[in-house]
Amino acid sequence: NAGVMQNPRHLVRRRGQEARLRCSPMKGHSHVYWYRQLPEEGLKFMVYLQKENIIDESGMPKERFSAEFPKEGPSILRIQQVVRGDSAAYFCASSPPWGVYGYTFGSGTRLTVV
C-alpha cells in the first residue's frame, strides 16, 4: 500500500515558466491538502481538495496558483509564470474521508526558480 506519491522530487524552472506538481494520495484517501514550506519555516496551508471539488483555498495566492483533484488521476498544483519567491518545498498530504486521523505526507517537491 504505497503512501502519498509526489513528483517530481525536484523541479527547476526559469522565471516566467509554469510549474506543475503532482500528488497521488494514499489508497482509500479522498482528501488532499497542499502545503508550502520555506527553509527553516513551518508548513503554510495552501488548499484542501476532495475529488472534483475545492473545499478550502484560503491559503492560495490569488494569482498564478491553481489546484485541481480530478475524478481520475493525481491532484495537480499549478503555478503559472513562476517568480523567485515561489522557490520552496511543496508538500501534499492526504487523509481518509471519515474519522479523525493524522495526515499522511508525501516527500515533497522542491521547486527552484532561477
Partner 1 sequence: SQQGEEDPQALSIQEGENATMNCSYKTSINNLQWYRQNSGRGLVHLILIRSNEREKHSGRLRVTLDTSKKSSSLLITASRAADTASYFCATDSGNTPLVFGKGTRLSVIA
Point out which residues bind partner 1 (CB under 8 A).
Answer: 4, 33, 35, 41-45, 48, 56, 91, 93, 100-108
Give the nearest distance from C-beta 6 to partner 1 in angstroms: 8
Q: Looking at beta carbons only, is 77 or 93 nearer to partner 1?
A: 93
| Residue 100 Cα distances to 11, 103, 109, angstroms | 33, 9, 26
Q: Looking at beta carbons only, is 18 or 41 nearer to partner 1?
A: 41
CA distance 79 to 66: 7
E strands along the chain, which residues?
5-7, 10-13, 19-24, 31-37, 43-50, 53-56, 65-68, 75-79, 88-95, 104-105, 109-113
Q: Looking at beta carbons only, is 9 or 15 nearer to partner 1?
A: 9
Q: Looking at beta carbons only, is 7 or 17 nearer to partner 1?
A: 7
Give the nearest distance from C-beta 34 to partner 1 in angstroms: 10
Give the nearest distance from C-beta 81 to partner 1 in angstroms: 26
